[in-house]
Amino acid sequence: MDTRSCSLPSNVVAAVSVSTHRERGPPGARVNPAKASAYIIFILVKNGRSIIVQSEHIPGPVEKYADIWDSLTYDKILAYTREHERLLSDRLSLIASLIDTIDIRMCQYAFLVSDNQQLRLVGQSSFDISPITVPAGWLSLVRESDIEIIEWMDDRAHCIWNGRQVDVYLTCSYTHRWWVQQIITIAHLFDKFKIDIIYEPLALVSRGSKIIGIVMARVEGRLVEMRDRSLVYGAFSQLQAANIVFESPVTAHCLLVHNGKLRFTYCLHSFVQYAPDDKRKEHYIESTWKALGRLFNKLPQQDNARIVDVNKWSYKPILLNYLPSPELILRLTFKYYLKGKQDTEKNTKNAARREKNVQSVKTTKLDRNRSRKYILPPKSRLTSIHTAVRSRTIQRAHFSSPTDTQMDTIPLAAQTGWQDSSFEESHFERRV
């Protein structure tokens, strides 16, 4: 892809994504979750060509401290998160030192392996990967080099093609190399059944003679609200009638409403069509309806600021060739959970502070009421003060347009136009 809009120099390797992928298996060959393997995936880019590097799993803080996670303080969570970032940075530094040992132009995947206490990268040619199949004559082909990439998102890339902003879905890991195939299959199926719940497919991305991705209209829209209940339930009823299920959890961050239509924005590979008599779909159908019920039950109390906006979930490229030092080069943050944890502790402190302020105000008012009769100046004193202010006000009436300096010297009463009663009241309030 064309990386000029990303400000990536030529002949420079950049890391554009770091994530954890757990093996699941394609539809019809699912892996038992208890036996599924997890990997750390690094997506690297050089001169517009990407390579996906798979390495051994590094447990994150949520996984490592699952038993005590909810009881941890914000400072503890932040410390564990920073430690995880350091481990990922060390792994990325190691890959950066080995990246020149393989030819990115000839490899689509690479694996970090250990042989006799020595680490090395092993590349796998794209010719050894099963090709993606597409329906004949469905969408036009666009060359990878004709797409200008803007930024890398979590499961796709935000690009410019044919003068418009689009989203391009590409393979993001070797274990999930079937994702793009499933997205293409389900998009064609929706087109066939006239099910309009995903963004419009526009073209297929090709690299040489192979299909490597799909171009779709850009993700945009608003969050689901209570008024959209019938729209959401109607869409899932339509899916069920076509024996199509959504195998991922239904949450607020994977649904948007655009131009009055429901749009799925995330996990498009989780749509699977089953045979009418296949009993395996019943589990997903039941869990989906329960998830929808929980979603709309929580909407009235849900803080929209805590919902992940998938259209802003992007990665900033890390230039591996231009490292200033071997220190931390990767800065990740579980920002949404950390923000929630920080807000909870902040709200607790603010509640205690407000309670203290209320008690302080009550005490101040009580002391004010007790001492008020001793602070009020005599009426004659108020009259003399006000007379002096009014006389100075009349003297300064000669200014047609006072400057800032002159305004600073004009008494406050002259600037605001106090009346007799308001001045007496304000003077009294200032004294007490």
Work out the percent of the chain whose per-residue pLDDT is above 70. 71
What average pLDDT is seen over the chain?
Answer: 77
Round to whole Å and give the CA distance between 351 and 4. Answer: 50
| pLDDT at residue 190, rounded to an integer | 94
Residues 49 and 127 in one domain: yes
Average pLDDT over residues 174-197: 91
Higher pLDDT residue, 201 or 352? 201
Residues 28 and 96 in one domain: yes
| pLDDT at residue 338, rounded to an integer | 54
Average pLDDT over residues 95-119: 86
Least confident of 97-111, 120-134, 410-424: 410-424
Lookup: tokens for 60:
């994150």
Would you place residue 53 in the very low, low, confident or very high pLDDT band (cuts 50, 70, 90)?
very high
Residues 187 and 112 in one domain: yes
Inside any domain, residue 297: no
Average pLDDT over residues 244-254: 87
Average pLDDT over residues 206-234: 91
Average pLDDT over residues 33-51: 87
Looking at residue 420, its amino acid is D
Least confident of 78-82, 103-107, 391-395: 391-395
Higher pLDDT residue, 57 or 129? 57
Residues 429 and 310 in one domain: no
Residues 316 and 417 in one domain: no
Least confident of 218-222, 285-289, 299-303: 299-303
Would you place residue 180 in the very low, low, confident or very high pLDDT band (cuts 50, 70, 90)?
very high
Whether 120 has a pLDDT exceeding 80, the answer reads: yes
Residues 115 and 36 in one domain: yes
Inside any domain, residue 236: no
Whether 317 has a pLDDT exceeding 50, the answer reads: yes
Average pLDDT over residues 351-374: 58
Whether 195 has a pLDDT exceeding 90, the answer reads: yes
Residues 328 and 385 in one domain: no
Inside any domain, residue 229: no
Whether 428 has a pLDDT exceeding 50, the answer reads: no
Would you place residue 266 in the very low, low, confident or very high pLDDT band (cuts 50, 70, 90)?
confident
Average pLDDT over residues 175-180: 86
Q: What is the pTM of this model?
A: 0.71
Of 333, 353, 384, at which residue does a domain stop?
333
Least confident of 39-43, 173-177, 287-291, 396-400: 396-400
* DSSP secondary structure, 37-85, as one string: -EEEEEEEEETTEEEEEEEE----HHHHTTTTGGG--HHHHHHHHHHHH
| pLDDT at residue 351, rounded to an integer | 65
Average pLDDT over residues 277-302: 88
- The C-alpha angle with vertex 332 and arms to 157 and 268, in degrees rounded to 5, equals 35
Would you place residue 364 in the very low, low, confident or very high pLDDT band (cuts 50, 70, 90)?
low
Could you give the number of structural domains in the chain?
Answer: 2
Inside any domain, residue 257: no
Inside any domain, residue 74: yes
Higher pLDDT residue, 395 or 228? 228
Note down the domain range covering 382.
376-432
Looking at residue 170, its amino acid is L
Q: From 155, 44, 153, 19, select the one nearest 105 (Cα to Cα).
A: 44
Other CB atoms within 10 A of residue 224 CB: 22
Whether 74 has a pLDDT exceeding 80, the answer reads: yes
Inside any domain, residue 167: yes
End-to-end CA distance of the chain: 72
